[in-house]
Structure 1
């Protein structure tokens, strides 16, 4: 066997982490071991990035007063989102969308300033810096699940207001608030699926071959 190969058990562990990862909203207050937090950030920093730019920055929120101000910002956007949803307003309002106050660790995932200078891989697709940061966030998510920690991605905020709050330089942009911490248990299914908000679509409906809307798998309907 090639020494670089993974065992069947190691391969299954990777797929299990992917399968059991959840966007968590309920947390216990127990602190996260600093060594574990550093491993999660190491995982993020080893994500792929366009042109090897590593456009991610992570701000750890440790001031309680700052966390409270961020919660207020998120709550304001939650209310605006509820209004924008029209007939689904009440249904949305019953959902728990974040755990900012409860989680042990709160991180802001930020795109750095000066990204416009990077042409490698971004000349026709400037949004690839965002894709790179998303890969870093996913690495944290999967590593957290492997460590037995929950993570929730919060996007309910005004990015301009949050950037000002976190003193991010002009051109930088906060993309996500990441709630990290211990949980009583992981949801058996995605929370929004269990709440009836949406269902996971069939893979056969999402993968095409050669041309748009030509199924790669299954029988043409």
Structure 2
């Protein structure tokens, strides 16, 4: 018997959270329970990071005027994205891409300033700080889903503008606007699959053995 193994119920719960995690856009206006946000941030902060640099920083947006400014900027970027999509422009504009004004909490996530001094694991791949912060966001996503709370990752923004709005250091890097909150229901499948924007690839399309080329 493998003594490192979780119980059958615990294993099932982990896989259920992974399987039923969704990028949520539709929220119910109700506050989180006391302590929930702190638990979610703690879960994020438990993520692995290259060289233990812990490159993530979270800004909780409690000023409604700032939240509104963030939403307006995202809307501008949504329109610009639609224009860049050409023939799929109108299809894209029908999609809901954020819930900034209706969710319970908004967090802006950024990479720390002075990142060039962190060399361990980044000498040839400096982008590993972004990979580390993405692991932190995924931790938060799974913790929120386990507690029945939705999370949506918004990436439609211009980094310099978001840096300016949130008073971030010049050499920091904003990577996400996170919307957290109660939802009526979790989507039965990823929203972009439901809307037929694209569909999940078969495992055989993404798994290779020994070389990149498919057998």
User: Which residue number in structure 1 is paired with residue 190 of structure 2?
Assistant: 190
The alignment's TM-score, normalised by the length of structure 2, stands at: 0.98
Give the aligned partner of residue 36 of structure 1. 36
Report 1:93-172 matches (<5 A).
Answer: 93-172=93-172
Q: Which residue of 2 aligns with 1:217?
A: none
Structure 1 outlier segments of 4+, above 6 Å: none
Deviations 1:73-126 (A, max 9, x none): 100000000000000000000000000111000000110101111110000000
Q: Once the 2 structures are TM-superposed, how far is the Cα of residue 33 of structure 1 from its aligned partner?
A: 1.7
Say whether 1:83 aligns with 2:83.
yes
CA distance in 2, matches of 1:127, 1:171: 14
Q: CA offsets per residue over residues 44-71 of structure 1, 9 Å max, x none? A: 0000000000000000000000000001
Q: Encode CA deviations 1:176-216: one digit per residue, 9 max, x unaligned.
A: 000000000100010000001000000111010011123xx
For the residue of structure 2 that corresponds to 1:34, the secondary structure is coil
Q: Structure 1 unaligned runs (5+)?
A: 215-219
- CA gap 1:206/1:182 in 2 versus in 1, 3 angstroms: same
1:41 counterpart SS class: helix
Q: CA deviation at 1:173?
A: 1.0
SS of the residue aligned with 2:35? Answer: helix
1:28-67 to structure 2, matched below 5 A, reads 28-67=28-67
Question: Which shows bigger deviation, 53-62 or 32-41?
Answer: 32-41
Deviation at 1:5, TM superposition (A): 2.9
Structure-1 residue corresponding to 2:11: 11
Partner of 2:92: 92
The residue number in structure 2 matching 1:213 is 213
3-state SS in 2 of match to 1:37: helix
**TM-aligned CA deviation for residue 4 of structure 1:** 4.3
Calculate the aligned-residue CA RMSD, in Å.
Answer: 1.0
**Structure 1 length-normalised TM:** 0.95
Unaligned runs of 5+ in 2: none
- CA–CA separation in structure 2 for the residues paired with 1:79 and 1:130: 26
Cα-to-partner distance string for 1:127-172 (whole Å, 9 max, x where unaligned): 0000000000000000000010000000000110110111101210
